[in-house]
Structure formats: C-alpha cells, structure tokens
Amino acid sequence: MNITASALDRITRCPASHALPQRVLPGSVYRDRGVVVHAYRAAIATGADPDEALLDVPEEHRPWCAALDEAATPRNLAAEVAFAFDLETGIGREIGRNLERDYGELGPTEIAGTADSVGVTVGMPRSMLDIDPPVTVLVEDLKTGAGWQPRAAEHMQLRFLALASARTYGADRAVVRLVRQWPNGLIKVDEHTYEAMDLDAAHGWLRGLMLAVRDTRDRNAGGRLPDVHEGAWCRYCPASRTCPAKSALVRQLATPGALPMIPLTPDNLAAAHRLVKEGPGLLKEIGAAIDAYVEQDGGAVKLADGSELRRVWNAREKVDAVIVDQVLARLYGHAVADAAVTTE
C-alpha cells in the first residue's frame, strides 16, 4: 500500500504505524466538517463569491465556514491539487484537481498527496548570468479543530507537498503555509520557506523513511515486535488495534498475576510502589487508547455483554461573544448580530 502525504507526520514519528496491519477508519463528524470547509475554501480560491458559496454549505457547518477570514480564504489559486512524487526517479507530477483523494493507480515508489491551494510565481533573473528566472511555488493547507498538528517548519505533509509541487512545476523554491482554524474561530497562519537545498534534503528524507517502513515490516513479518513510538499522532492511527504498545498497556493491568498482591512483603514492595507512581499515567494512556478505539468506530462500540460504549460530549457553557457576533453578521447581517449579541 502506497504512503499518502496525510500520513507522513505520523509515519515519520512511528514507521511501525504503516508497517503493522491496517484498518480503514470510518467517517466522523470531524472529517465531514473538514471536507465541507475545504470545499467552501476551494470555491472561494477559484473565484466564487463567499456569501453565495456559504449558501451551499450544510447549516451545521456554516459557522466554521463563516468564521474564515481573508487570510484563510485565498483567491486566484488552484484548489485541491493532487500530486505524486516518485522516490526513485525524483519526478513529480500533477495527478489532477478536485479528485477527493482518489489518486488512481500509483507507481510502486510513488507517494501521493493533495494541496488545498497552490500558486506559482516567476521572478526576475537574479543576474544577467541567470538563464532561467527563479520560480517559487506556494502551497497552503487548512486544518480545522484542535487536534495535534506540527508547526509549518516541522510539518511533514507540507514538506512533501513542497517537494512534489516544486518538482512538478520546475520551481527552485517553495513556500508552505499552515492555516489553522481553532474551535473558537481563531485563525492562525504559520509559514515556512524551502530553498533548493532544502528540497533536495526532503527527497533524501523521504527515501530514508521508506526504507524505515520496509525494515519495520520485515521485522514484523519475521516475528519480531517492531519498535513503536507513542504520542499525539496515535489518535487516528489505522494500526492502533495491532500496536504492541497499546496491547501491552492493557495486559499489564488486566493479566492475573501481573500486579503485586496483598499482603505486601519486602519482595513485592518495590513493584507495588512503582505501580502506585506509574499507575495513574498508565490508566490515562489506556483511557486515551479506549477513546481512540471508540472514535475510530464512529463514536460507539457494541460490547460482548450487549451493552454499548459511546462517546458523550459535554456542551460548552460559554461562547466567545465577539466570534458569535462576527458569525451572525456574516450569516444574517449586522442588524441581527447587534440585536442578539452584546459585546460590551
């Protein structure tokens, strides 16, 4: 199975997450929201009127779209551009646009990914000795919600898109922008520039990552447990249910005889003390693994005893009046916003 760009931040930190058996994660409200917001942003990037485009957005997702400011809704850029980059040949290509992540048939050493927005600029020659003018490619990616995301300079998905787009369009420089929309409506833009040498280094990094995945897969096939690295990237990992770290956590607390028994003795006192110190953190990690399991199953899991484990969200007791005022004004006009919200 080919690696795709959206998984690179996780795979870079834990190659085993792509080498272990995978499962297709079901859809969720977060993914639905992300698809809608990206479609709205793509419409504006290609010239649509924001207010008219907002009418095509399902009502439950309109506040997220309405909260996007000008910095998060670029115009006159190509939208939803899919790229492929071949690790062996170093050649990039544009697969198409608005493909909804359907990349078709890829070569055995190709990685594919989609950029939300792409632009290309051609500058003036730096000197009379320059035959070709410098070409810069701009790549933007929007992330909604409060989930874990690295900064632009450390964002491996954007690093790949910088490389793939630069090789596709013959650019010697790439500027990447990570646009984050937080649940409270706050928009943050983080930017990083890749020069020609940085792009060459990115190609070397990708080749090394592919070798790490192959080595981990060979270890697993040979019956040896792969090295796994846990962190925030585990939340939506498609290999979480076969991850040795997750199963070890459960076994450590659930296996009979694995815990020190009462009465305490000098022989088991050290183990009992270690459990008291490490137990709360261990339980927290198991709780996070359970949350991820339920969320990956669409928010509810049928248990063996016939009951159901379901994730329940608590409603917010407070909202930001300024943001509510901005959203209402965008959706229904300033008269409605002024009548509904007091920001003094």
Burial of 46 (0-12, 13-18, 19+ CB in 10 A): middle
* pLDDT(10) > 90: yes
**Residue pLDDT, tens place only, 102-155:** 999 999 999 999 999 999 998 766 666 666 778 999 999 999 888 889 999 999
* pLDDT(259) > 60: no
- In the prediction, which pLDDT does 282 show? 64
Count of other CB atoms within 10 angstroms of residue 49:
10
* pLDDT(164) > 80: yes
Closest of 250, 243, 236, 249 to residue 296, by C-alpha: 236
User: CA 296, CA 100: separation in Å to the nearest integer?
Assistant: 21
- In the prediction, which pLDDT does 172 show? 93
Higher pLDDT, 218 or 46: 218
Task: Indicate the range of 150-159, 167-176, 224-233, 259-268 predicted with least confidence.
Answer: 259-268
Mean pLDDT, the chain, as a whole number?
A: 83
Higher pLDDT, 6 or 314: 6
* pLDDT(316) > 60: no
The answer to whether residues 283 and 253 touch, using CB atoms and an 8 Å cutoff, is yes
* pLDDT(180) > 80: yes
Mean per-residue pLDDT, 5-11: 93
Mean per-residue pLDDT, 22-47: 81
Mean per-residue pLDDT, 266-289: 72
User: CA 217, CA 19: separation in Å to the nearest integer?
Assistant: 5
What's the Rg (C-alpha) of the chain?
Answer: 24
Closest of 35, 137, 9, 128 to residue 77, by C-alpha: 137
Count of other CB atoms within 10 angstroms of residue 218:
12
Mean per-residue pLDDT, 29-37: 84
Closest of 170, 183, 219, 179 to residue 64, by C-alpha: 183
Q: What are the strands of the beta sheet with 110-122, ordered from one edge? A: 92-97, 78-86, 110-122, 135-144, 173-181, 187-194
- In the prediction, which pLDDT does 195 show? 96
- In the prediction, which pLDDT does 234 show? 83
Mean per-residue pLDDT, 315-329: 68
Burial of 99 (0-12, 13-18, 19+ CB in 10 A): middle
Higher pLDDT, 261 or 248: 248
In SS3 terms, the chain reads as CCCEHHHHHHHHHCCHHHHCCCCCCCCCHHHHHHHHHHHHHHHHHCCCCHHHHHHCCCHHHHHHHHCCCHHHCCCCCEEEEEEEEECCCCCEEEEEECCCCCCCCCCCCEEEEEEEEEEEEECCCCCCCCCCCCEEEEEEEEEECCCCCCCHHHCHHHHHHHHHHHHHHCCCEEEEEEEEECCCCCEEEEEEEECHHHHHHHHHHHHHHHHHHHHHHHHHHCCCCCCCCCCHHHCCCCCHHHCHHHHHHHHHHHCCCCCCCCCCCCCCHHHHHHHHHHHHHHHHHHHHHHHHHHHHCCCEEECCCCCEEECCCCCCCCCCHHHHHHHHHHHHCHHHHHHHCCCC
**Residue pLDDT, tens place only, 76-117:** 789 899 999 999 999 999 999 989 889 999 999 999 999 999
Higher pLDDT, 88 or 273: 88
- In the prediction, which pLDDT does 155 show? 96
Instruction: Give the pLDDT band (50/70/90) at residue 249.
Output: low
Closest of 12, 78, 14, 6 to residue 227, by C-alpha: 14
User: CA 132, CA 129: separation in Å to the nearest integer?
Assistant: 9
Instruction: Give the pLDDT band (50/70/90) at residue 288.
Output: confident
**Which structure tokens are listed for 244?**
């040795």
